[in-house]
Amino acid sequence: MPRTVALLLSLAFALPAHAEGFITRLLNKPVPGGVAVIAAGHGPQAPQVRYQDRPALVIKEDGRRWIAIVGIPLTVQPGEQQLQVDGRPQRFRVDAREYRAQHITLKNQRQVNPNPDDLKRIAREQDEQTRAYRQFSQNQPSNLLFDRPVDGPLSSPFGLRRFFNGEERNPHSGLDFAAKAGTPIKAPAAGTVTLVGDYFFNGKTVFLDHGQGLISMFCHLSAVDVKVGDRLGRGEALGKVGATGRATGPHLHWNVSLNDTRVDPAIFIGAFKP
Ligand code: ZN
């Protein structure tokens, strides 16, 4: 290859990398259950970005360009996806990611095959939680590189295909931290408490809205120390680790949602493994 061509080629590949900012490098993991960071122009106004008919989080990166930060559902097939930037279609690629299987034994068979009354309760609770995930407040997240909500090692990763007593159920929608019952849980970024509940599967639960559809859910708590409407600063305590709901022992289950899509929380704490 002639030298000049090689030089031009290396420049062509080097330029996009230089154009990427810190947030893009940190969060852009375009896989099912991951996050796509999409350049969305340099206009004076923030563009309106929609993906799968839902509004997406848009911020200004490095004070110079708009980026959309979009959650990709676990059910999306690798390949081309499309979103709308001010109504104009824009394409992006989703790469493959393998998710392992996990087998869990529960003594309480009702947590595997709930009875008809349980199913009614579960449906009601799912509606309530879906509404909380669909809220889209206009405030900007205080930080996109999250703090870990508890001190403790990561245990079950996001996206595991789960079998309870041999029966396949929904994949693991969050990230688990091993921690003793009573360990304080801290807000990974500032947020408003939008929902507090005590649910069949999730146990005692807190929803924290960080802004523009970026929402955390904390489950299986032994104690909840906040109420709906509370504004929490980054690092403020919201409750304590427990084992309420469908849990085999004390741990924190943490969901992170963008555009009503549960994504791998490990991305936001710099712990993502492809
Ligand atoms: Zn979990």
pLDDT in tens, 34-82: 999 999 999 999 999 999 999 999 999 988 899 999 999 999 999 999 9
For residue 253, the CA-to-ligand 1 centroid distance in Å is 4
The pLDDT, as a whole number, for residue 17 is: 43
For residue 157, the CA-to-ligand 1 centroid distance in Å is 8
**Overall pTM surpassing 0.85 (yes/no):** yes
In this predicted structure, the answer to whether residue 195 has a pLDDT above a threshold of 60 is yes
For residue 105, the CA-to-ligand 1 centroid distance in Å is 14
239 falls within a domain: yes
In this predicted structure, the answer to whether residue 9 has a pLDDT above a threshold of 90 is no
For residue 4, the CA-to-ligand 1 centroid distance in Å is 53
For residue 143, the CA-to-ligand 1 centroid distance in Å is 24
The pLDDT, as a whole number, for residue 3 is: 61
Q: Of 14, 88, 26, whose CA–CA distance to 264 is shortest?
A: 26
For residue 168, the CA-to-ligand 1 centroid distance in Å is 15
> Of 40, 62, 94, which closes a domain?
94
The pLDDT, as a whole number, for residue 164 is: 86
For residue 175, the CA-to-ligand 1 centroid distance in Å is 6
For residue 109, the CA-to-ligand 1 centroid distance in Å is 18
For residue 60, the CA-to-ligand 1 centroid distance in Å is 32
The band of 25, judged by pLDDT with boundaries at 50, 70 and 90, is very high
The pLDDT, as a whole number, for residue 2 is: 57
For residue 46, the CA-to-ligand 1 centroid distance in Å is 35
Q: Are strands 101-104 and 161-164 parallel, antiparallel or unpaired?
A: parallel
Mean pLDDT over 102-123 rounds to: 89
Mean pLDDT of the chain: 92
For residue 244, the CA-to-ligand 1 centroid distance in Å is 12
For residue 87, the CA-to-ligand 1 centroid distance in Å is 37
User: Whole domain around residue 127: which residue ranges?
Assistant: 101-268
Residue 99's alpha-carbon distances to 156, 234, 268, in angstroms, are: 12, 31, 19
In this predicted structure, the answer to whether residue 182 has a pLDDT above a threshold of 50 is yes
Mean pLDDT over 106-118 rounds to: 87
> Of 67, 94, 121, which closes a domain?
94
274 falls within a domain: no
The pLDDT, as a whole number, for residue 16 is: 47
Mean pLDDT over 216-232 rounds to: 98
| Count of domains observed in the chain | 2
Mean pLDDT over 140-145 rounds to: 95
Contact 273, 31 (CB under 8 A): no
Here the tokens at position 104 are 């869990």
- Of residues 113 and 223, more confidence is placed in 223
For residue 250, the CA-to-ligand 1 centroid distance in Å is 11
The pLDDT, as a whole number, for residue 157 is: 96
> Do 65 and 119 share a domain, yes or no?
no
> Do 194 and 236 share a domain, yes or no?
yes
> Do 112 and 46 share a domain, yes or no?
no
Contact 50, 38 (CB under 8 A): no
> Of 72, 94, 116, which closes a domain?
94
Rounded Cα distance between 86 and 82, Å, is 13
In this predicted structure, the answer to whether residue 185 has a pLDDT above a threshold of 70 is yes
For residue 230, the CA-to-ligand 1 centroid distance in Å is 25
273 falls within a domain: no
Q: What is the CATH number of the domain that holds 28?
A: 2.60.40.1590
Q: What is the CATH number of the domain that holds 204?
A: 2.70.70.10
> Do 22 and 118 share a domain, yes or no?
no
For 234-256, how does the pLDDT look when each residue is reduced to its tens digit (9 = 90+)?
999 999 999 999 898 999 999 99
> Do 21 and 68 share a domain, yes or no?
yes
Those residues whose C-beta lies under 8 Å from the C-beta of residue 249, and which sit 6 or more positions away, are 243
Here the tokens at position 125 are 């609770």
For residue 160, the CA-to-ligand 1 centroid distance in Å is 10
